[in-house]
Chain A
Amino acid sequence: QVQLQESGPGLVKPSETLSLTCTVSGGSISYYYWTWIRQPPGKGLEWIGYIYSGGSTNYNPSLKSRVTISVDTSKNQLSLKLTSVTAADTAVYYCARSGDGFSLFDYWGQGTLVTVSS
């Protein structure tokens, strides 16, 4: 059974960089697309972007200038970096595996809350 686990700081200061890691277990990261999604408290889901195990990426245009998603196949991990954060970036961040179709997320991490505050 594939499992995903997000990790990283729960508190980030405004203007700094948010960095999260998603560790995949129970299966290989190879040959799949992996996506980051976020959910502000009490609000809906927002697609951040995806990466293929080979390294190609696609980002939400609204975040593109600040986002970098990378993959380390040797560690079975993907990472998210979001620069110049503000309070509006406070959210639960999820990593998910894309199945057959970019909007089909068949496995999800439990999510990690990141609060942007000084």
Chain B
Amino acid sequence: QSVLTQPPSASGTPGQRVTISCSGANSNIASYTVNWYQQLPGTAPKLLIYSNNQRPSGVPDRFSGSKSGTSASLAISGLQSEDEADYYCAAWDDSLNGVVFGGGTKLTVL
């Protein structure tokens, strides 16, 4: 059971917009910034969104992040087949005194 809660799966058709939620608590998301990672099949995770809503250089602006209270969201617009991957949220947690991850969401492009 992960400290941050994500839906195990999400799906959409090419061109659609999908959102992935990440639910936490006062000890993590409400108090600290959220980062999102994309893990393509067979590869290491890659930083996708940092500090709630910032994109690293090279990440398309189709990817966006937001945070409100104890929840965060990742939105992907103009869905493409190459977006099919696992997505993870992460944040610092005061109760654990460490980093917590969401359980991951497997995105399928239909």
Give the interface of A toward B (CB within 8 A).
35, 44-47, 49-50, 58-61, 94, 99-106, 108-111
Contact = CB atoms under 8 A, between A and B. Distances in A.
Interface in B87-110: 88, 90-92, 96-104
Contacts of A110: 43-44
A94 B44 contact: yes
Contacts of A104: 33, 35, 47, 50-51
A47 B50 contact: no
A58 B88 CA distance: 22
B44 A61 contact: no
Given A44-B103, A47-B99, A103 B44 contact: no
Contacts of B33: 101, 103-104
A105 B45 contact: yes
Contact of B37 (A50, A100, A101, A105): A105
Given A101-B51, A108-B44, A58 B104 contact: no
Contact of A60 (B2, B45, B98): B98
B96 A60 contact: yes
B61 to A, nearest CB: 19
Given A47-B98, A106-B56, 9 more contacts: A46-B101, A50-B99, A59-B98, A99-B50, A102-B98, A103-B90, A105-B35, A108-B45, A110-B43
Nearest to A50: B99
A49 B98 contact: yes
Nearest to B6: A44
Contacts of B104: 44-45
